[in-house]
């Protein structure tokens, strides 16, 4: 009997970086989305960058490693923000969303993915299902009214 889609699947922990620029008055402004690379599940969908925790890694350690590997940047402080479990057909994942406001280095798309600085409503599409709740959280924090992304 297949466990695909079953609630009994153990979630894989994933560290997710929500890189946020601040405006001239210190308020949160644009945020970074990247596209999923060709050859990966949901290729071409837009998401916040990050990846799976390796054995023995903390969320912060995994996020630092993943953003260096994927984007070529070194991040400063990591601010744990939200957690969400998503059931995808291929996996059940526990997403650990962390805000990051400071980083160094030039962005390099090391997996041939695309990047886009966005604000609400997000113009890039399609958006990965696990990204939509984050856009809703941003909308709530920013008192944004209206759709958070193009359908």
What are the chain's domains? Answer: 12-142 (3.90.79.10)
* Structure tokens belonging to residue 130: 């696990």
Going by C-beta distance under 8 Å and a sequence separation of 6 or more, which residues neighbour residue 56? none
Of 23, 10, 43, the residue nearest 114 (C-alpha) = 43
Of 33, 11, 32, the residue nearest 85 (C-alpha) = 11
* Residue with the larger pLDDT of the pair 1 and 141: 141
pLDDT in tens, 80-117: 999 999 999 999 999 999 999 999 999 999 999 999 99
Going by C-beta distance under 8 Å and a sequence separation of 6 or more, which residues neighbour residue 49? 16, 17, 19, 32, 34, 66, 67, 70, 71
pLDDT in tens, 11-45: 999 999 999 998 888 888 899 999 999 999 999 99
């Amino acid at each position: 009997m297949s466990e695909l889609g079953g609630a009994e699947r153990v979630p894989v922990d994933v560290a997710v970086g929500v890189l946020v620029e601040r405006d001239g008055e210190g308020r949160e402004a644009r945020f970074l989305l990247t596209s999923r690379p060709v050859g990966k599940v949901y290729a071409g969908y837009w998401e916040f960058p990050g990846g799976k925790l390796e054995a023995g890694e903390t969320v912060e350690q995994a996020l630092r490693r993943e953003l260096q590997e994927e984007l070529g940047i070194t991040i400063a402080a990591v601010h744990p923000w939200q957690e969400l479990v998503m059931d995808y057909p291929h996996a059940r994942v526990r997403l650990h969303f962390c805000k990051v406001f400071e980083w160094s280095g030039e962005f390099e798309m090391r997996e041939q993915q695309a990047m886009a600085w966005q604000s609400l409503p997000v113009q890039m599409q399609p958006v990965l299902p696990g990204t939509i709740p984050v856009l809703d959280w941003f909308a709530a924090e920013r008192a944004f009214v209206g759709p958070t992304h193009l359908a």
